[in-house]
């Protein structure tokens, strides 16, 4: 690749990342759901916004492929939950997506790497970063 194109490509990637961060702020302002960590503040920097979220206890359910079969992994611990707990978690996910869709947002690329579960209080938190866009985008 030409060295003259590299800086342009890096600027483009930075611009796309900044756009995704601004989209996350807009999403939180529009949707707000109990399963989403609270957006506490946005700090503007020369490189774009920095988003500060409330701390969410728990573990990501999604793990790398090499750990999927490990009984101690968050993935297998989640799968081993009683059916009633799994259904309650599924209700949270469906409720979140229904609310987002009702407000005109479309979720793309939502997977187990976007789900946090606290094994202390059974709370489920969702990470919207895998892409949520206004339906008009």
The pLDDT assigned to 61 comes to 93
Instruction: Give the lowest-confidence range in 37-41, 82-86, 121-125.
Output: 121-125
Half-sphere exposure of 89 (CA within 13 A, CB side): 23
For residue 134 the two structure tokens come to 């206004």
pTM over 0.85: no
Report the domain count for the chain: 1
Evaluate if residue 57 carries a pLDDT over 70.
yes
> What's the confidence (pLDDT) of residue 137?
53
| CATH (domain of 66) | 1.10.510.10
What pLDDT is stored for residue 107 in this prediction? 79
Instruction: Please give the pLDDT value at position 50.
Output: 95
DSSP classification of residue 113: G
Domain that holds residue 108: 5-134
């Amino acid at each position: 690749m030409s060295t003259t194109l590299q800086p342009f490509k890096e600027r483009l990637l930075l611009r796309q990342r900044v756009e995704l961060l601004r989209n996350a702020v807009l999403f939180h302002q529009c949707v707000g759901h109990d399963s989403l960590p609270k957006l506490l503040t946005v700090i503007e920097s020369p490189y774009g916004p920095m988003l500060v979220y409330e701390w969410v206890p728990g573990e990501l359910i999604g793990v790398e492929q090499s750990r999927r079969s490990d009984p101690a992994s968050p993935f297998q611990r989640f799968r081993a939950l009683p059916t009633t707990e799994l259904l309650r978690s599924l209700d949270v996910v469906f409720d979140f997506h229904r609310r987002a869709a009702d407000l005109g947002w479309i979720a793309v690329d939502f997977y187990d790497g976007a789900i946090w579960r606290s094994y202390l209080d059974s709370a489920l938190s969702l990470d919207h970063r895998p892409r949520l866009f206004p339906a008009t985008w």
